[in-house]
Amino acid sequence: MNLLGKLALVTGGSDGIGREIALQLKGAGANVIVTGRSVEKLQAMAALGFGTIAGDLSTPAGIDAVVAGVADKPLALLVNNAGVSSDYDLDTPETLDSAAHCIRTNLDAPIALCTRLLPVLRAQGEAAIVNVTSGLAIAPRAGGSIYCATKAGLRSYTQAIRHLLRDSNVRVIEALPPVVETNMTAGRAGKKMSAHDCAAEIVRGIRTGKSEVNAGMVKMLQLVHSISPALARRIMIRF
């Protein structure tokens, strides 16, 4: 996809991987609107020349606000990046609220935005949807059961709509980050990819017309999974 002059929407583009994607899309000549909940973070992005839309994507009102903010614009690129982890614990029913919030944000919202913004994307000459899942969509880790379920669900949805849209002007891309240095992984030990490098692989994938962007170590996970899905699951379940 040629990004020059294209209008892009990056959900969760006010921080972390999304912010880096927004910066790099802008660097490639796109006009970029970012969304988020924190008004302070959005103001910081506006000061850098980004369009902004505030809205909590775990709520119908937040989704309505984002759709209304771009529905009458020539949106050519939708990046469903906003996501949260969950505090769900199998032995603590009270944590079902956290699970539901994670499902609404990570799975329901991207599905709603793909569906409601598809007519706008279809009206452009060249358009794309990027759904940000995770290496954990390939094989879950036990400690993140709900988060992994949302990402596996979004991966499945992405593969299905890619097929449905195969003859259209809308390319459907899945981006699978590894562990990346952001607020989401703060305090977590071990090797992490930088948000800049992860975003660079994703933006390169958009430009070069990839269907899947396996960032960093996810390439290795995909290789192991292609040889032995059972081995990939055994490695990741304790991760």
Dihedral angle at the C-alpha atoms of 220, 138, 80, 158, nearest 10 degrees? 120
CA distances from 214 to 48, 171, 182, 210 (A): 29, 17, 18, 10
83 binds ligand NAP (CB under 6 A): yes
111 binds ligand NAP (CB under 6 A): no
Among 22, 33, 56, 171, binds ligand NAP (CB under 6 A): 56
- Is 157 annotated in the active site? no
Using the rule CB under 6 A, give the single segment among 8-16, 23-31, 118-126, 166-174 that binds ligand NAP: 8-16
Phi and psi based region of residue 46 (left: phi greater than 0; alpha: psi -120 to 50; beta: remaining):
alpha
Among 36, 51, 140, 205, binds ligand NAP (CB under 6 A): 36
**DSSP 3-state of 100:** helix
CA distance 172 to 163: 9
Q: Interface mask (CB under 6 A) for ligand NAP, residues 171-210, using x and -? A: ------x-xx-xxxx-------------------------
Quote the tokens at residue 17: 């991987």
CA distance 182 to 205: 21
Identify the active-site residue in 7, 77, 82, 147. Answer: 147
Footprint of ligand NAP on residues 113-172 (CB under 6 A)?
132, 134
Which residues of this protein are in contact with ligand NAP, per CB under 6 A? 12, 14-18, 36-38, 41, 56-58, 62, 81-84, 105, 132, 134, 177, 179-180, 182-185
Q: List residues with catalytic annotation.
A: 147
